[in-house]
Structure 1
Amino acid sequence: MLQLTIDGIVQSAAPGRLLDVLLQAGAEVPHLCHDLRLTPHGGCRLCLVEVDGEPRPVASCACQAEDGMVIRTDTPALRALRRTHLQLLAESYPPAAMEAEPQHPLHRLFAAYDVEPGGQLRDGLFLDDTHPYIGVDMTRCIDCQRCVRICEQLQGQFVWEAWQRGAALRIAPAHGATLLEGGCVSCGACVDSCPSGALYDKRVTVEVEGWTRTTCVYCAVGCQMEVGRRGARVVAVRPAASPVNRGHLCVKGRYAFEFNHSPERIAWPMIRDGEGWRRVSWDEALDFTAAKLRAIVAAHGADAIGVLGSARATNEENYLAQKFARVVLGTNNIDCCARVCHTPSAKALKTMLGTGAASNGFDDIELAGAFLICGANPTENHPVVGARIKQAVLNGARLVVIDPRRTELAGLADVHLAPRPGCNVPLFNAMAATLIEEDLLDHAFIGERVAGLDEFADFIVDYAPERVAMECGVSAADIRAAARLYAAGRPSMCLHGLGVTEHLQGTEGVMTLINLALLTGNLGRPGAGINPLRGQNNVQGAAHMGCDPATLPGGQSFKEAGARCASAWGAPLPERHGRNLLQMVDAAAAGELKAIWAFGYDIYLSLANVAETTRALSELELVIVQDLFLNETAKAFGSVFLPAASFLERDGTFMNSDRRVQRIRQVVPAPGEARPDWWIIQQLAARLGRAEGFDFAGPQAIWDEVRALWPEGAGLSYARLEHESLHWPCPDEQHPGTPVLYQSSFPVGQRATLAAIAYLPTPEQTDADYPLLLLTGRTLYQFNAGTLSNRTPDAVLRPADTLDMAPADATRLGLADATPVRVTSRYGEVVLPLRISRQVQPGQVFATFHGSEPLVNRLTSSIRDLQVQAPEYKVTAVRVTAASA
């Protein structure tokens, strides 16, 4: 620690930039060009302070604090200098802006130093009112260049540019006539940083009454944010300082919150009455539901009912859901949406290494020497993590991207491999073959931590790059280049997404990635690891809390934790193996499953092959939907609707993609009669005779029961989570958490065994009738099924799903950009607007799936992962014709 004398008071401080130290100490040092997230600029000269031994005042933002410094922050000479600088800024500033919005930092400084704006406006400044969220009025610009720097240094988008110099300096987009034309991704970082109101949030038109810190509800990065409220409404969101997002948010986290107050919110219970719905009391809805469940159990047994947890719900609520299934109903038929996305990751990681979660935290991004990004598009689907990866690459880290499309990160990559969809296993095997053939191995790590190398080496010879390159659709030279770069970058971080998992061999594809990490020693060390980028905010937590037919809370097996849970719950656990989500659908189609309770999960819209899903759900006697909106499952098949509170209306915890458990906090009251999921589960348990064991006072009491049953989470108390961002394992309240797994051994033992995975081609192949391969995925401005994001102005930025096609294919088929096309598979057809894109390879097309119409899953097949039954969303053979044909 440093000892500084600040305005006559001796204070201790950690090393750092002097301005940051002074602000942390409580000194009021004015500044306009400074932002904690940026490198020093020293342009505004307002942060000048006097330092003993210095001949003239120094810019505190541009110098480091030193032990023994004696500093004066507020003297007559300093105030005079600051007032002079402010007067220069005020000459060309509009007085009306200060009068209308006195809250801006610049306006507060004008007032504090008794400076009046002069109103001598400059001509030809950039104005833009076309963006739905961000307004631009550069007549208020003071040329601090914070927008330019934050767009470069935090987001890496390079939208803004300082044109000309001196008195002629102007800030405007580097390209295009508008923000969006200039490549803006609407993250709002420039707005957040702007001190003058030149950039502003167009929708923040009322004064915020208070701010509440919570966790974002969109992807599983787990960004921390502060939510502003006025009365019972959310009116603004701003980023919070956190190890996860470092004061940054994406467009959805910052702006896409208006779903919370959508007129389509359902705020009262309803029961299906013929073709319509009848509003009822909570008592009637719960009594109706309990009676139906009781009758089904009596007639068909407990295994005739399935319960589906939710990535939208908290850890506490998912814990209660699986406890309800096992204790109240007596069935292990409990699952969640992880089944269709990252259960293959969890299965592969658990099988080979011992823990079904990411091995490293996001803080390791800045430590990595190289990245291997497979089947993931982070800058669109995990934008804050994507921006951190992009910054690391711009600062010198090496990058390999494996993706059929040319994504933004692929454009920055040292090596981009664009394999034929469905060929991940032979491609990753070919990289492993290169590592062994060229002796790019970490022999010390292998000698201590890896088993089965000789047998694996014998197996992998058949996957030499030259043997599989043609089938994979990439060159052998590029495969070898990718393997060399990954091996040489040590530590090298591997991040993968649904482009790896949603295949026939999804689980095995992840296992072949784990092989690469084992061979190169990229496990158990900072900056490395195998890290699935989870798609939804709490999908990791939902499964980890036991919403999986084969595991109990904490991802524990029945052997590990069965006796402990049975004792704590006061009931024996069901002995029969439960059905997973896809098996529930099969059982419903066969007449064996009679009821499903799904909360926060639109299964009809989300599952592959809509025709088969329709047949299955139509056979059910009871469909309980618990959600914010009357979703597509409820509209088509629902029997009873239970209105849930949103994440902004309840307390609890989420678990993000890198194993952090983080608090969510109630910001506003739930509308009408909507209630938190935990309350609904509690009430239904009581009606079915199991009030005891569900009579919790609130989420904290539920979480304390979770911690008592999950040894690796025992240290994650609410008291700690109030102030800390911790990774599990965290076995006690003195433990610091575990950002990096496997540092000395694996849960499976001292050594992990390499997996010899033979390639099995998917049955879904192109032919003369269906000559194109369809991939599906997300886009930046929408999220998943669009349930939330489509009810916000993001729908203006991305109004419809599209079919992306390579220019050569569009020309060959005589199809024009923006025209509707008919996409037909062996399972169904849809009509989509065509978007001609160079991101897509010839012979392939790409569609998003964010709308209930056209409902792109009408096209996808019933092929499933061989081990955990995740649907193969990523490979569908289709033909494309003009919609009028």
Structure 2
Amino acid sequence: MASEHPPLQTVEVDGVERQFPHGLTMLQALRTLNISVPTLCHDDRLTPVGECWVCAVEVSLPRGLPFSNRPACREPLRDGCSIRSGSASLDAFRRNLLEQLAARVAPEEMERFPDKALHRLLREFGVPARAGLDHPIAIDVSHPHIRVDMNRCIACRRCVRICDDLQGESVWHVFGRGDDLRIDTEGGLPLAKSPCVGCGACVDTCPTAALTDASAWHEPVPTEWTRTTCPYCGVGCKLEVGVAGDRIVATRPVIDAPSNKGHLCVKGRYAHGYVDAADRITVPKVRHDGRWRSTDWAEAITLAADGLRRVAAEHGPDAIGVLGSSRATNEENYLTQKFARVVIGTNNVDCCARVCHTPSAAALKHMLGTGVATNSFDDIEQAKTLLVVGANPLENHPVVGARIRQQAQRGAHLIVIDPRRTGLARIADVHLAPRPGTNVPLLNSLAHVLFAEDLVDRDFLAARVEGVEGLAAFMAPWTPERATQLSGVPADAIRRAARLYALERPAMALHGLGLTEHLQGTQGVMALIDLALLTGNLGRAGSGINPLRGQNNVQGAAVMGCDPGTLTGSVRLVDACQRFEAAWGVALPHKPGLNAVTMIDAAHAGKLKALYVIGYDIFASLANADVTAMALSKLDLVIVQDMFLNETANSFGHVFLPVVSSFEKDGTFMNSERRIQRVRRAVAPRGDSLSDAEVLCRLAGELGFGDQFRHTCAEAVWDEIRAVWPAVAGISYGRSSRHGLQWPCVDEYDPGTAVLHARRFANADKAKLEQVDYRPTTECTSEQYPFLLTTGRTLHHFNVGTMTGRTRQQLLRPTDTLDMHPYDAGQLDLRDDMPVRVESRHGEVVLPLRVSDAVAPGQLFATFHDPARMLNRLTGPVRDTVTSAPEYKVVAVRVRLA
């Protein structure tokens, strides 16, 4: 069949005939020729509108007709046309426009914000800024990160459009017309009182000083920019770090980055002040008689090594536990697990993946052969249906959350499974709100509907799935009505959700800790995989099972081998031990190791004597904090490696080893979509702090294993990883330097893998369905404890606040809160901001109350970011039956006025 369009268009550009593919604007075509055209209202992330006309070019349509000015940003390229990109008349036209706009620019602002688009053009055309310093419109400095001065606004509407089209918050609005046109928040609210989420996209796109970073008014202009990867959640946003005087003074998104598409969240853009926080520790410390004293690296390394050597000699190597860091690089986590196995001689090594998505990895590995996300973030824009289970990405993975919301607003169906009425739940086609702890009955009832209404993909099942008849029989009793009795979700909503997921394909499932941090976390993920297999929503673009990983490199930490049962590449010890022994030149331990949670059990029982904790505040993070404290207090040696004296170090540490932030070192992170991305040093290490890799190598050398830890740089470590893990052999530092690559990527010609399981599953041609029966949690309400509490993160903070708690994010969210439905608050005569005492069977905390209809009556929600509150005093000992992940999402409590 003939193509609808010829392959190329012929266009005359500045007197030279050129050829271009179809679908370009004139601006895009000219840029391919490196012809610079000025723009003001244009942003590559937005649909062109051509309002400012600064990008005007002279166009003849078709060639031979008189030339006329047309805005290049919105004008489509046409075969046979002629374009003049520059001329005396165009220069005069553009200069006239700029002279009018110069009245909105003050000379001082030209110097302070040289990269603002209007400021650059005024310099280029030699037009002087001529605005005075009077401000008839009051400057809004209410927001800690964003300064608003609408005296400088040129009404280009870029802020309005980017807030609508990229972030989706619709903070900025256009009011009035003509000379009375103004841009403001709804109701003229100060920005801090508006729905603004502080992403900074409006600042990033604004071509003037109308919207600026608040810090830019007291920080110097950056003198250099370094491209790196965000140190917060598992989205893996690429950003550029602006530095002046060896200090981070600004950050901005990488416009063409695949994971974030030129966007950042409030943390990635603004929460970097912890690098130079006043309480950052930059010299080693040791504790004597209960007090910390500063020392040098020689003494600290010697004391740490002597302590480890003594424990191993007296109690054996398995009396020592090692915890890697989800904030550290892939290279450093590789060295961490190598240190545990080669230097200490134990498989007691783990990381914080244990308490979040290890259930996801276990379920995916068991059923599909690979324990990672099956698809890419780009698949969001290809999905016809999005199923979000136990996740609140608008707050916890904000850039991905914004992409999900935008796809839904473009017409994709959205199903949300969450006890709370989250931001995505409010716009969902179907919101299924199960009682906490009842995910499995709900997911089983969805599978029941697929069988009962013949909504399964028979061709896919026949070709690629086993156990169909057995599962059909198992699911027969799991009617929506039965699920309603257990979960509280209406049966008709269950049927509607099942139909959408099965019929409106491709359907993409994304899930979070609301699915995994349960007694049946692993089984819950298995039940979700069943749904994808039954409907054929695997192995194709826009579909799949995709865990939204919490920390920046939690995926990488686990895959590097910070797991007691697996080596680098998530290969089982029993399958790959000989290969790694050959590579490392030593015999490896074969005894099964302890995970992070069972290490605490062993410490409590007196069997674990020493703990080496890298970048992980285990005391503040683990459930059942009082029991954790008792266990840690019994250890003979606790070595903490971090930037700050965290709660674990403060309460239980003996040796503290200070390390650098990700902005002070090189390496790679692995994001949720399996993308390996570069991390680059932007500033010098603070004080005497070292990278985690340097510390590990020094400690290994002190313990007699220097030959196995002679790594000169991060790239050398990565090349060793490539040698022992064939799935990343094709991902060199050179190839991953720009946008990173997704593994598997087996050689230098492999472009990487965006979608897993396209032809076969990793371990077999066919996947086997799992029959998951329901086992209720032991955390039940009673007359004494009438509420069910679930815990989670909030937009403005990250984990236990180690980083965000030392930034201006504190002004946006000073402490944790307890959310309660208005009905329950009324029954208890409680109001907003009242301090309330929350008591469970395991402990108690005091929190300020926040009355909210996001939670259902009888249910509560609290965040866990403030170590002063120590929310995990409330959470209990219940764990996932397969991986030991704690059940953070269900705890019975009572509430009273403090």
Q: TM-score, normalised by structure 2?
A: 0.96
C-alpha contact 1:158 1:174 (8 A) present in aligned 2: no
Tell me, what secondary structure is at the counterpart of 2:705? Answer: coil
Q: Find the counterpart in structure 2 of residue 237 from structure 1.
A: 251
Corresponding residue for 1:64? 76
State the SS of the aligned residue for 1:439.
coil
Equivalent position of 2:525 in the other structure: 510
Report the equivalent of 1:400. 415
| Corresponding residue for residue 29 of structure 1 | 37
Pairwise CA distance, 1:181: 2.2
Distance 1:102 1:697, change over 3 A: closer
1:433 to 439, 443, 448: 448
Check conservation: 2:105, 2:208, Cα contact below 8 A.
Answer: no
Equivalent residue runs for 1:218-297 within 5 Å: 218-240=232-254, 241-297=256-312
Q: Which residue is 1:217 aligned to?
A: 231
The 1:843/1:303 distance shift into structure 2, 3 A limit, reads same
Q: Which amino acid aligns with 1:751?
A: K
- Pairwise CA distance, 1:560: 3.2
Shift in Å at residue 733 of structure 1?
A: 1.0
Q: Is the 8 A contact 2:664 2:683 kept in 1?
A: yes
Instruction: Report what 1:804 is aligned to.
Output: 819
Shift of 1:67: 5.4
> How do 1:364-443 and structure 2 match up within 5 A?
364-443=379-458
- 1:39 maps to which of 43, 47, 50: 47
Corresponding residue number in structure 1 for 2:849: 834
Amino acid at match of 1:433: H
Identify which range, 791-800 or 80-89, moves more after superposition.
80-89
Identity of aligned residues (%): 55
Q: Where do residues 27-426 of structure 1 align in structure 2 (5 Å cutoff)?
A: 27-52=35-60, 53=63, 55=66, 56-66=68-78, 70-91=82-103, 93-94=105-106, 97-98=109-110, 101-117=113-129, 119=131, 125=137, 127-175=139-187, 177-204=189-216, 205-240=219-254, 241-426=256-441
Match of 1:755 in 2: 770
- Is 2:668 aligned against 1:653? yes
CA–CA distance in structure 1, aligned partners of residues 574 and 21 of structure 2: 48
The 3 A distance-change label for structure 1 pair 814 and 176 is: farther
Counterpart for residue 543 of structure 2:
528
How far the C-alpha of 1:66 sits from its partner, in A, is 4.4
Give runs of aligned pairs for residues 858-869 of structure 1, distance below 5 A: 858-869=873-884
Mapped to 1, the partners of 2:481 and 2:810 lie a distance apart of 46
Output one character per residue of 1:581-615: Cα deviation in whole Å (capped at 9) or x when no partner. 11110000001000010110000000000111011
Structure 2 contact 439–524 (Cα < 8 Å) conserved: yes
Paired letter, 2:703: L
Corresponding letter in the other structure for 2:58: E
State the AA in 2 paired with 1:46: V
How far the C-alpha of 1:98 sits from its partner, in A, is: 3.9
> Do the aligned residues in 2 keep the contact of 1:220 with 1:657 (CA within 8 Å)?
yes
Whole-Å separation in 2 of the counterparts to 1:211 and 1:13:
33
Instruction: Give, in whole Å, the separation in 1 of the partners of 2:344 and 2:351.
Output: 17
> 1:408-459: CA deviations, max 9, x gaps?
0000100001100000000000000011101111111111011111111111
Answer whether contact 1:126 1:171 (CA < 8 A) is retained: no
Measure how far apart 1:149 and its partner are.
Answer: 0.4
State the distance in 2 between where 1:62 and 1:591 align. Answer: 71
Question: Which amino acid counterpart does residue 399 of structure 1 have in structure 2?
Answer: L
Distance 2:250 2:104 in 1: 30
Letter in 1 for 2:191: L
Whole-Å separation in 2 of the counterparts to 1:223 and 1:872? 29
* Aligned residue among 610, 614, 618 for 1:599: 614
Distance 2:564 2:674 in 1: 21
Give the Cα separation in 1 of the matches to 2:226 and 2:833: 42
- 8 Å CA contact 1:339–1:580 kept in 2: the answer is yes
Deviation at 1:50, TM superposition (A): 1.7
Contact 2:257 2:739 in 1 (8 A): no
Deviation (angstroms), 1:92: 5.3
Check if 1:768 corresponds to 2:783.
yes
Q: Any idea what the Cα deviations from partners look like across 1:232-284, whole Å, max 9, x if unmatched? A: 21110000020110100000000000000101110011111111111111011
Secondary structure at the counterpart of residue 359 of structure 1: coil
1:634-675 deviations in Å (ceiling 9; x for gaps): 000001000011100000000000100000000001111100
1:723 maps to a residue whose letter is R
- Do 1:20 and 1:36's aligned partners in 2 also have CA atoms closer than 8 Å? no
* Cα distance in 1 between the residues matched to 2:428 and 2:785: 32
- One-letter code of the match for 2:419? P
Q: 1:637 aligns with which of 645, 649, 652?
A: 652
Q: Distance in 2 between matches of 1:693 and 1:629?
A: 29
RMSD of aligned alpha carbons: 1.5
Distance 1:4-1:710 versus aligned 2 partners, 3 A rule: farther
CA distance in 2, matches of 1:556, 1:2: 52
1:716/1:733 contact within 8 Å kept: yes
8 Å contact 2:136–2:151 — kept in the other structure? Answer: no
Change over 3 Å in CA distance of 1:139–1:273 after alignment to 2 = same
**1:20 aligned residue:** 28
Q: Any residues of structure 2 matched to 1:520-669 within 5 Å, and which?
A: 520-669=535-684
* Change beyond 3 A, Cα 1:811–1:580: same
Alpha-carbon spacing, 1:573–1:608, altered in 2? closer, same or farther (3 Å): same
Q: 2:461 aligns with which of 442, 446, 452?
A: 446
1:432–1:175 distance in 2 versus 1, CA, 3 Å: farther
CA contact (8 A) 1:92 1:122 kept: no
TM-score (norm. length: structure 1): 0.98
Contact 2:112 2:221 in 1 (8 A): no
SS in 2 for 1:693: helix
Whether the aligned pair in 1 keeps the contact of 2:113 and 2:221 (CA below 8 Å) is no
The alignment partner of 1:462 has SS state of: coil
Q: Determine the C-alpha separation between the residues in 2 that align with 1:560 and 1:274.
A: 47
Deviations 1:792-847 (A, max 9, x none): 00010010100000000000011111110000000100000000001010001100
Q: Give the match's secondary structure for 1:742.
A: coil
In the aligned structure 2, how far is the partner of 1:585 from the partner of 1:195?
Answer: 54
Gaps of 5+ in 2: 1-7
User: Helix, strand or coil for the counterpart of 1:61?
Assistant: coil
Contact 2:384–2:542 (CA<8 Å) still a contact in 1?
yes
Q: Could you say what secondary structure the match of 2:86 adopts?
A: coil
What is residue 3 of structure 2 aligned with on the other side? none
Corresponding residue to 1:7 among 10, 14, 18: 14
- 1:675 equivalent in alignment to 2:683: no
Q: 1:69 to 1:429 in 2, by over 3 A?
A: same
Q: CA deviation at 1:127?
A: 3.4
CA distance in 1, matches of 2:670, 2:194: 35
Task: Quote how far apart the aligned CAs of 1:299 are.
Answer: 0.7
What is the one-letter code of the residue matched to 1:7?
D
CA distance, structure 1, for counterparts of residue 584 and residue 521 of structure 2: 35
Determine if contact 1:316/1:702 at 8 Å carries over to the other structure. yes
Secondary structure at 1:128's aligned position in 2?
Answer: coil
Q: Offset at 1:177?
A: 1.1
**What CA distance in whole angstroms lies between the structure 2 residues aligned with 1:222 and 1:410?**
24
